[in-house]
């Protein structure tokens, strides 16, 4: 009991600390302007062109190589192996399957613990889904090298490498690429080959393409928190749903529409000029509003693997001259980094963390310390994610500037709820679930019951329902102790935070 209270207290002090970090900004927030307050009125504050930390000579040599021409499939494989031997400590190269013609679908993992199963979030980038859209595969190799060259030199890069398992699949469709056409070698559009939520067109697993199967297995293996696929033909960040129930072209938002709009805007506003689009307000679009598709990969990710995926159209011209690649890379670099950065838990080393990180993250443990693969729900959003089996970790992306009630539930345990106001930055909420006993009635997953995130005018974070009512007598006494401990810890956390603000100047990128 004491142990679990101490644990709770630690959580509370973490919450308070985030609350004090976001408190000032929160008062200015309302639902219509949260994104402006985060990005700045110009909408392009996160974009910075020349903040590279490797020598300018080396970087220019890389750009020159990029501009010389697109890599063939064997060039790409060689480039990936070369990358891996240049940065062996923070990468590994592996295959997720083979194309129709037997070309390996190679992926790079970048992380300070590549291949380790740990509690960090995973993010994936997928390029060249359509064979005739090759810009993404070149950019993804540049991204990998950028991360390698700036690790331990640039704080965002270091935070990404230390805080995320970043998986990069430069080409999902090498056969289509070799023939310079959209579909794979069996003439199938891979972005129409996934099971669809409305129309049972692709439900036969045996008829699915090997590239699609490889993706499905990959997503089963790795619990991705978010991802993006890179396409060409427009300049816009596209988010779910991609299809409508009645095949009409119409805005059709998924339960996490707000979160997706936040993520898509994060990309477009970090981009050199995506957000200035005349065609797409703010440089983002709902997929079905643009044009409905069925059997796409984006919706499948969200529905079946708990992964928030964007479809990024990064170049009006599908196959621009290679001499344009350095510019396109430059325009997208900050967006790519910021998008990956958005899934990271709070990291002290990165001082602009607040501008890009979002969501509620933490762990779920039983009261005797066993990690639980609990279900995580947000009241009012019809979408459930599952905490990791091994560590009980969860990453719930959410739009900032709102209050949320998080519910952790697990069969055999009493569910618990926490109220969180999400300001700038991510918030950590850990749950300790007590086993259900015969005296406690079953109430797992009672989502209809709004426990009530009610607040007084002063923004503060509240954790409710942690203490069972049946033990009120003991609880009162312990609560006093808890309050005292939290007060002390909160003071210490504030002090630490002050020091952090003093010692770390804000990056030029957010000026």
- Binding residue (CB under 6 A) for ligand NAG from 3, 33, 42, 201: 33
- Binding residue (CB under 5 A) for Zn ion from 120, 130, 271, 396: 130
277 interacts with ligand NAG by CB under 6 A: yes
Residue partners of 227: CB distance under 8 A and separation at least 6: 123, 124, 125, 126, 301, 307, 308, 309, 310
Active site residue 82: no
Contact criterion met (CB below 8 Å) for 133 and 319:
yes
Strand 402-409 with 375-378, pairing? antiparallel
Nearer to Zn ion, 189 or 424 (CB): 189
89 interacts with ligand NAG by CB under 6 A: yes
Q: What's the rounded Cα separation, in Å, for the pair 210 and 189?
A: 12
382 interacts with ligand NAG by CB under 6 A: yes
Token pair for residue 86? Answer: 């240049």
CB of 497 vs ligand NAG, minimal distance in Å: 25
CB of 415 vs ligand NAG, minimal distance in Å: 18
- Binding residue (CB under 6 A) for ligand NAG from 55, 116, 217, 273: 273
CB of 70 vs Zn ion, minimal distance in Å: 16
Strand 122-127 with 165-169, pairing? parallel
CB of 88 vs ligand NAG, minimal distance in Å: 6
235 interacts with ligand NAG by CB under 6 A: yes
Contact criterion met (CB below 8 Å) for 415 and 444:
yes
Burial class of residue 469 in the structure, from the number of CB atoms within 10 Å of its CB (0-12 exposed, 13-18 middle, 19+ buried)? exposed
Task: Supply angle C-alpha 181, 313, 78, rounded to 5.
Answer: 60
The one of Zn ion, ligand NAG, none whose footprint includes residue 235, by CB under 5 to 8 A per kind, is: ligand NAG
Comparing every residue's Cβ against Zn ion, the nearest one is 231
137 interacts with Zn ion by CB under 5 A: no
Nearer to Zn ion, 133 or 149 (CB): 133
Nearer to Zn ion, 148 or 172 (CB): 172
In the set 313, 393, 402, 405, the catalytic residue is 313
Q: How many CA atoms lie within 13 A of 324 on its CB side?
A: 12
Residues that bind Zn ion (rule: CB under 5 A) add up to a total of 3
- Binding residue (CB under 5 A) for Zn ion from 231, 345, 363, 414: 231
Q: What's the rounded Cα separation, in Å, for the pair 297 and 455?
A: 40
The one of Zn ion, ligand NAG, none whose footprint includes residue 273, by CB under 5 to 8 A per kind, is: ligand NAG
Spatial CA neighbour of 313 closest among 135, 183, 182, 142: 135
Residue partners of 452: CB distance under 8 A and separation at least 6: 464
Query: For binding to Zn ion (CB under 5 A), which residues are involved?
Result: 130, 133, 231
Query: Interface with ligand NAG by CB under 6 A: which residues?
Result: 28, 30, 32-33, 89, 235, 273, 276-277, 382
Residues marked active site are found at 313
């Amino acid at each position: 009991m004491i142990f679990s209270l101490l644990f709770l207290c630690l959580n509370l002090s973490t919450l308070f600390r985030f609350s004090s970090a976001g408190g000032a900004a929160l008062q200015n927030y309302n639902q219509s302007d949260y994104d402006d307050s985060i990005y700045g009125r110009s909408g392009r504050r996160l974009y910075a062109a020349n903040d590279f930390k490797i020598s300018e000579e080396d970087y220019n040599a890389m750009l020159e190589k990029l501009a010389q021409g697109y890599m063939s499939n064997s060039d790409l494989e060689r480039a990936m192996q070369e990358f891996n031997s240049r940065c062996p400590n923070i990468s590994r190269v592996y295959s997720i399957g083979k194309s129709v013609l037997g070309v390996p679908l190679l992926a790079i993992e970048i992380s300070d613990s590549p291949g380790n199963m740990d509690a960090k979030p995973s993010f994936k980038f997928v390029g060249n889904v359509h064979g005739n859209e090759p810009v993404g595969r070149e950019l993804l190799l540049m991204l990998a090298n950028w991360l390698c060259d700036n690790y331990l030199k640039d704080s965002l890069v270091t935070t990404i490498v230390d805080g995320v398992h970043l998986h990069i699949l430069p080409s999902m469709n090498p056969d289509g690429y070799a023939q310079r056409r959209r579909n794979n070698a069996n003439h199938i559009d891979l972005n129409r080959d996934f099971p669809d939520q409305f129309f049972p067109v692709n439900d036969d697993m045996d008829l699915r393409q090997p590239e699609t199967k490889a993706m499905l297995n990959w997503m089963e293996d790795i619990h991705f928190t978010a991802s993006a696929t890179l396409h060409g033909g427009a300049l816009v960040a596209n988010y779910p749903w991609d299809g409508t129930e009645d095949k009409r072209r119409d805005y059709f938002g998924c339960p996490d529409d707000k979160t997706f709009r936040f993520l898509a805007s994060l990309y477009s506003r970090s981009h050199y000029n995506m957000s200035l689009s005349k065609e797409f307000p703010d440089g983002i679009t709902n997929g079905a509003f643009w044009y409905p598709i069925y059997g796409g990969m984006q919706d499948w990710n969200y529905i079946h693997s708990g992964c928030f995926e964007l479809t990024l159209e990064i170049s009006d011209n599908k196959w621009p001259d290679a001499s344009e690649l350095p510019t396109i890379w430059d325009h997208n670099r900050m967006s790519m980094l910021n998008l990956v950065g958005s899934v990271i838990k709070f990291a002290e080393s990165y001082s602009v963390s607040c501008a890009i990180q979002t969501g509620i993250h933490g762990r779920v443990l039983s009261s005797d310390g066993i990690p639980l693969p609990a279900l995580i729900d947000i009241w009012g959003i019809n979408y459930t994610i599952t905490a990791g089996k091994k560590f009980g970790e969860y990453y719930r992306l959410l739009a900032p500037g709102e209050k949320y009630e998080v519910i952790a539930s697990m069969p055999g345990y009493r569910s618990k709820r926490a109220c969180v106001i999400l300001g700038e930055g991510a918030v950590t909420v850990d749950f300790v679930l007590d086993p259900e006993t015969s005296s406690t009635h079953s109430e797992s997953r009672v989502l209809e019951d709004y426990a009530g995130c009610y607040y007084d005018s002063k923004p503060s974070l509240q954790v409710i329902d942690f203490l069972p009512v049946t033990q009120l007598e003991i609880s009162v006494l312990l609560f006093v102790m808890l309050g005292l401990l939290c007060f002390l810890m909160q003071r210490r956390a504030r002090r630490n935070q002050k020091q952090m603000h003093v010692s770390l100047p804000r990056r030029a990128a957010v000026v």
